[in-house]
Amino acid sequence: MGREKKNSIRSRAVNFLLVISLPALLLIFWEIGVRNGSINGNVIPAPSKLFDTFIELIKKGKLQEGLLISFQRVIQGFLIASVAGVTLGFLMGIFASFNRMLSSLVNILRPIPVVALIPILIIILGVGESANVSIIVVGALWPILLNTTAGVMSTDRKLLELAYVYRLGKPKQYFKIILPSALYSILTGLRLGVSGAWMSVVAAEMIGATSGIGYLIMFSKSLAQAANMYVLVLVVGIIGYLIDKLLLMLQNRISKRFVAGRG
């Protein structure tokens, strides 16, 4: 037991080193490259410069301010997309006729990149919060909707037969059999939906907003502040990564609690 534990700590350490080694090496060569002049520091600033810029942005409060606004938009858009996606997805999973009615529309709209919809939404809704939030809704909606439908349709038919023979009412079938069956899939959809929302908020703010982290990136570009731009883009990436990790953890927790016996 003690030995196993030691082993697992050791293998974890090895794993961590493997994960961290490539980015670390990249940073080291990057820094050296800028210092000895083989990389143009004006176009690609050195990591040390980026770190200083990052601290400066935080001190001035710019970064937090932008992130806060972006987060608010993401939460609004994501909530709307969740309610719409889970409801529509659930109905599409249960009612074949409803599914047939919507599926062609969904399949045409879904492959359109969110960026392509931004100009249209701005024309319709004007520059402002409703356009920003709508873009996020679209960016988050599809994975939520599709995963909900798939989860509902994967419900074990034998359990539904059981419910029929034992004359359990429709609400009990929907909420006590189908919903728990679909829960894991719905959570996957929500997790992908948050990622989608985060990507869309940046895109939306780069094109049609005067605040938020996406806007800050465009602003830095227009002032040719290369270091700011890099820092902001990296922050977007890291936050996206953290959101996904956090939600994966949350998903596993919830499913352990409610979807026991499902591996």
Partner 1 sequence: MGNETILSIKELKKDFRIGSETVHVIGGISFDVNKGEFISIIGESGCGKSTLLKMITALESVTAGEIRIDGKTVTRPDEKCTMIFQESRLLPWLSVEKNIAFTLPPDMSKEKKRELVKSHIELVGLSGFEKALPSQLSGGMQQRVSIARALATAPDLLLLDEPFGALDAFTRINLQDEILKIWQKQKTTMLLVTHDIDEAIYLSDRIIVLSAKPGKVKADIKVSLPRPRRRSDIEFLRIRRSVLLELFENGSQEDLEYYI
Q: State the minimum distance, in angstroms, from the CB of residue 165 to partner 1.
A: 5
Q: Which of 23, 166, 222, 224 binds partner 1 (CB under 8 A)?
A: 166
Nearer to partner 1, 4 or 166 (CB): 166
DSSP letters along 144-208, please? HHHHHHHHHHTS-HHHHHHHHHTT--HHHIIIIIIHHHHHHHHHHHHHHHHHHHHHHHHHHHHHH
Tokens 């940073």 — which residue?
A: 27
Residue 258 binds to partner 1 (criterion: CB under 8 A): yes
Nearer to partner 1, 253 or 262 (CB): 262
Q: Which of 162, 238, 248, 254 binds partner 1 (CB under 8 A)?
A: 162
Residue 158 touches partner 1, criterion: CB under 8 A = yes
> Is residue 29 a contact residue for partner 1 (CB under 8 A)?
no
Which residue in the set 67, 84, 168, 239 belongs to the binding site for partner 1 (CB under 8 A)? 168
Residues 173-212: x/- map of binding to partner 1 (CB under 8 A)?
---xx--x--------------------------------
Which of 169, 170, 222, 224 binds partner 1 (CB under 8 A)? It is: 169
Query: Do the Cβ atoms of 232 and 220 come closer than 8 Å?
Result: yes
Residues near partner 1, by CB under 8 A: 158-159, 161-162, 164-169, 172, 176-177, 180, 258-262
